[in-house]
């Protein structure tokens, strides 16, 4: 559980950076950037916790708010330097969904969800923060574009469940599941891969 906890904090941190950088790209002020970073970081997990009928962990654990503040600070202080790096926002978003999918999945299992429900709750944990971020920035959320995004989360979650059911250590299962999500996302964008359009 300690591994899961720190994994969650790291995901919160990188999603806060992702949200704050998105706000920076729209020339939004510091408060607006901090708010965007906050809702990006906690949005998916909070929705997951509502489904699990439990109190969102950031309400009780200040380490999550500290992680968000650190992410927003880094985006604000080093935003110009970070923005010069190629596909920076994409990289942080990819790292974030990789972490959050596995964390959300594992938390759902801890709260006795079925494995199928846990897979979808893991995906919700990962993508809903980005949906809120993109909606606030007046952008079409990634899950509604042709890019492989939520599908990558489902693939990583399925790999975790497969390894978990075969007795593989949960830390390794989590690492490999997150790595698969990251890899699928990187490869799909690099080679412009996408799912077929409904009725296409």
pLDDT digits (tens, 9 = 90+) for 147-199: 799 999 999 999 999 999 999 998 899 999 999 999 999 999 989 888 777 76
The answer to whether residue 15 scores a pLDDT higher than 80 is yes
Show the tokens assigned to 22: 């998105």
pLDDT digits (tens, 9 = 90+) for 88-143: 668 777 888 998 899 899 999 999 999 999 999 999 999 999 899 999 999 988 88
Q: 91 near 37, Cβ under 8 Å?
A: no
In whole angstroms, give the CA distance from residue 10 to residue 68: 10
Place of tokens 């990634």: 142
Q: Given this model, what pLDDT does residue 87 score?
A: 67
Cα distance between the two ends of the chain: 44
Q: Given this model, what pLDDT does residue 54 score?
A: 93
In whole angstroms, give the CA distance from residue 34 to residue 23: 9
pLDDT digits (tens, 9 = 90+) for 16-69: 988 998 898 899 999 999 999 999 999 999 999 999 999 998 999 999 999 999
Q: Given this model, what pLDDT does residue 1 score?
A: 56
pLDDT band for position 85 (50/70/90)? Answer: low
Domain ranges of the chain: 2-190
**What is this structure's pTM?**
0.86
- C-alpha angle with apex 72: 179 to 84, nearest 5 degrees? 70
Cross-strand pairs, 147: 194
pLDDT band for position 78 (50/70/90)? Answer: confident
The answer to whether residue 200 scores a pLDDT higher than 60 is no
Contacts of 96 (CB under 8 A, 6+ apart): 11, 14, 15, 18, 126, 129, 130
Q: Given this model, what pLDDT does residue 51 score?
A: 93
Cross-strand pairs, 194: 147
Long-range contacts of 111-118 (CB under 8 A, 24+ apart): 111/52, 111/54, 113/52, 115/161, 115/165, 118/157, 118/161
In whole angstroms, give the CA distance from residue 104 to residue 12: 12
DSSP conformation class of 168: -
């Amino acid at each position: 559980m300690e591994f899961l906890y720190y994994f969650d904090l790291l995901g919160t941190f990188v999603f806060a950076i992702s949200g704050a950088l998105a706000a920076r790209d729209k020339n939004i002020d510091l408060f607006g950037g901090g708010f965007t970073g906050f809702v990006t970081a906690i949005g998916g997990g909070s929705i997951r916790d509502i489904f699990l009928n439990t109190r969102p962990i950031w309400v009780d654990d200040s380490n999550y708010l500290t992680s968000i503040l650190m992410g927003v600070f880094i985006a604000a202080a080093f935003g110009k330097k970070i923005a010069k790096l190629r596909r920076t926002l994409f990289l942080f978003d990819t790292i974030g969904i990789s972490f959050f999918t596995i964390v959300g999945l594992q938390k759902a299992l801890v709260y006795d969800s079925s494995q199928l429900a846990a897979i979808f709750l893991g995906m919700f944990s990962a993508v809903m923060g980005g949906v809120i971020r993109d909606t606030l920035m007046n952008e079409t959320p990634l899950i509604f574009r042709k890019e492989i995004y939520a599908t990558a989360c489902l693939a990583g979650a399925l790999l975790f469940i497969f390894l978990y059911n075969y007795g593989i250590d949960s830390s390794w299962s989590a690492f490999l599941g997150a790595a698969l999500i990251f890899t699928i996302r990187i490869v799909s964008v690099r080679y412009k891969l996408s799912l077929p359009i409904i009725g296409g």
